[in-house]
Amino acid sequence: MNAASPAPVERAELFLVPLRLREAFETSGATARDRSVLLVALHAGERVGWGECVAGAVPSYAPETMESAWTTLTEQLLPMTVGRAWTGDLPGPTDQPMARAAVEMAAWDLEAKRRGVPLCEAIGGERRPVAAGIALGLQPDDDTLLARVGAAAAAGYRRIKLKIKPGRDVDMLRAVRDRFPDAPLSVDANGAYTLADAPRLRELDELGLLMIEQPLGVGELADHARLQGAIGTPICLDESITSLTTARRALELGSCRVINLKPGRVGGFRAALEIHELCRARDVPLWCGGMLESGVGRAHNVALATLPGFTLPGDLSPSERYWERDLVEPEWRMVDGALLPLAAPGIGAEPDRTRIEALAIRRHSLGAPS
């Protein structure tokens, strides 16, 4: 292991790369056909650390957007990063957690490469297989959904998550459970329901679901607690968990029994590690969700999911699930229902810089070129 002190970041780059999804992905709130990938590259000597910002084009999932993140990165975070040696704490604004996470996780990749260890080990995990799950968007009809669930089960996914919304929930799910009585199923509402829907959501108890994810709105922790008291299916919170503070509050109220922890949503690994320790202390199971990331962001998610508190399969599908061709080599592949962190230092996968530069529609660079 290289024991040298961290070198200052000499240069930072941003790339905005548009990619077309293999198929449209529909939730209760939006339909995505394309995904703009915002990548951060931090240079220190010959090493480059990569991160990915998970903000969307519009503020449907979170208030932060790709445009606001770009502004925060170019005007605040990157100028505060270049010329400094990273010591584990990122200065700058805290109200744009997705932009912060992109820089912070790129710095972690750089640090892992400096130390000569895989990223998972650098953050306290171990290089072990991570159980893969698949998230299926809303389908046009039940026959299509049943075919998709059957294909996912045959592929070996350890968990199959189905998107739901009012009008496409109980009856649809009964049809799935009747066809696949033993399938490991969960559902995700993306906040589409209200507390008044409790009787309807209680009908899901008979279906043996692993969990119902984010049934109510982001800030409705008290109502989530009331709903959890009224139904037997475990509630999992996703969008509501924006920080250690909100995670602690949710657990104190009894708003959920499971947490979906996304490092890109909470500001990076430092916050994610704090939430991980909180949940371990309270025996609350964790899993790592996805935000339609490229292979760069997926590498960070896989690394996080190797920590001991992540006991449930996450939304960590292989590259081919989303892209005709990913932005990294090798692409992420699933073996026996799991993804394995690569043994190379840092994120392991190597971003295809030539392709990234060719596809980028927007670029920014700060600092001296190497």
Which amino acids are annotated catalytic? 163, 262
- Quote the CA–CA distance of 341 and 118 in Å, as a whole number: 8
Cβ atoms within 10 Å of 363's Cβ, excluding its own: 12
What is the gyration radius of the CA atoms in the chain, in angstroms? Answer: 20
Assigned token pair, 333: 């592949």
Asked if residues 287 and 260 have their Cβ atoms less than 8 Å apart, the reply is yes
- Quote the CA–CA distance of 62 and 92 in Å, as a whole number: 20
- Amino acid at residue number 242: T
Ramachandran sector of residue 235 (left: φ over 0; alpha: ψ -120 to 50; beta: rest)? beta
- Residue for token digits 């919170």? 237
Burial (Cβ within 10 Å: 0-12, 13-18, ≥19) of residue 183: middle
Assigned token pair, 199: 């009787």
Burial (Cβ within 10 Å: 0-12, 13-18, ≥19) of residue 4: exposed
The count of C-alpha atoms lying within 13 angstroms of the C-alpha of 311, restricted to the half-sphere facing its C-beta, is 10
Asked if residues 349 and 50 have their Cβ atoms less than 8 Å apart, the reply is no
Cβ atoms within 10 Å of 233's Cβ, excluding its own: 23
CA triplet 296, 62, 100: central angle to 5 degrees? 50
